Amino acid sequence: MSIEEIQQQIIEEFSVYEDWMDKYSYLIELGNDLKELDPKDKNDQNLIKGCQSRVWLVAEMNDGKIYFRGESDAVIVKGLVALLLRVVSGRTPKELVEADLHFIDDLGLKQHLSPTRSNGLLAMVKQIRLYGVAYSRIAD
């Protein structure tokens, strides 16, 4: 499935939730289900420091694809991290550079990407792109 197709799939999954409480309950469930990072990966190098919550992001290149793992100390952010990982992990650098990540906006969760929320998510999205750019240069 392409990045776009997975985004559409997620949007469809969320469409069954009519009110915010159900939507957030699902997000919390996703957050709780996200596999925890190995404590040694939760180091300063992988840390994306937000003012409110912290996000860790680990990237590994394998067979021309970038595999991401991540976590946050806030469970709602963790849920969003889980969704992001589903979309971006296992992609080629080229796919990541060209990706239009719009699904968070479409889910009505855009506020979590606002700079004022400073939960580390916006910086995480930027970091994912940077990994894409960096690895595509290495590949060249």
Give residues in contact with other proteins (CB under 8 A). 20-21, 24-25, 28, 51-54, 73-77, 112, 119
Nearest to 71 by CA among 113, 27, 40, 34: 34
Q: How many CA atoms lie within 13 A of 23 on its CB side?
A: 16
**Sign of the CA dihedral running 36, 33, 86, 11:** negative
Active site residue 51: yes
Q: How many CA atoms lie within 13 A of 104 on its CB side?
A: 23
Residue 23 or 129: the one with the smaller Cβ distance to other proteins is 23
DSSP H or E run through 72? strand 65-72
Residue 54 or 65: the one with the smaller Cβ distance to other proteins is 54
The least distance separating other proteins from the CB of residue 41, rounded to whole angstroms, comes to 18
> What is the distance, to the nearest Å, from the Cα of residue 22 to the centroid of all Cα atoms in its chain?
21
The least distance separating other proteins from the CB of residue 136, rounded to whole angstroms, comes to 33
Residue 20 or 38: the one with the smaller Cβ distance to other proteins is 20
Annotated catalytic residue within 25, 35, 49, 51: 51
The least distance separating other proteins from the CB of residue 1, rounded to whole angstroms, comes to 30
Residue type, 70: G
Residue 15 or 32: the one with the smaller Cβ distance to other proteins is 32
The least distance separating other proteins from the CB of residue 119, rounded to whole angstroms, comes to 6
Active site residues: 51
